[in-house]
Amino acid sequence: MAALGLIACRDRSQHREPTERGDGQPGRGQRMLAEAKACADSDPPPLDHCTAACDLHHSNSCARAGDATGDRAAAQALYRRACDGGSGLGCAAAGLDVEARFYLRVHCEQKHAPSCAALARLFQEGRGGAADPGAAATFRRQACLLGERAACAEDPSR
């Protein structure tokens, strides 16, 4: 079984995209990360950077692009695309609350503060499952500890 793992790892490494093309230009992965950073670092999110990162398959950027567009139908399509790509924020914005709980929990465990805050709201409101004020408080506290200021203001224990 261990031999299969080594083979899989070796095969996977052979399929990784190079960080830079042969001509010195950044590869797709580097472009995606640069666009995603520009999308995440601004409030309100810049639609052009968010859309570019979304097109390069960065799902949270698809959700931010949905937040930035003024077109309700386009926003809904972007939120669904984000959710399909594994963005809990996109699922929550699209109203797909069961999926949102799953993806938001994964991202919260990866220390993504906005996901913890969004998950707290879902548990508080009973969206995607039963309401659970204790879980809501736990996720709100985690969001606060990770730097989500709005979650700190909502946390009655602070």
Q: What integer best gives the mean pLDDT of the chain?
A: 86
Evaluated on CA atoms 25, 20, 15, 39, the torsion sign reads: negative
Q: What average pLDDT does this structure show over 87-100?
A: 95
Question: Has residue 157 got a pLDDT over 90?
Answer: no
pLDDT, one tens digit per residue, over 45-78 is 999 999 999 999 999 999 999 999 999 999 999 9
Concatenated DSSP letters for 75-118? HHHHHHHHHHTT-HHHHHHHT-HHHHHHHHHHHHHTT-HHHHHH
Question: Residue 28: what pLDDT?
Answer: 85
What percentage of the chain carries pLDDT values higher than 70?
82
pTM for this predicted structure: 0.76
Q: What pLDDT band is residue 155 in, cutting at 50, 70 and 90?
A: low
Question: Has residue 4 got a pLDDT over 90?
Answer: no
Per-residue exposure over 115-136, b if at least 16 CB sit within 10 Å of its own CB, e if not:
bbbbbbbbbbeebbeeeeeebb
Question: Has residue 16 got a pLDDT over 60?
Answer: no
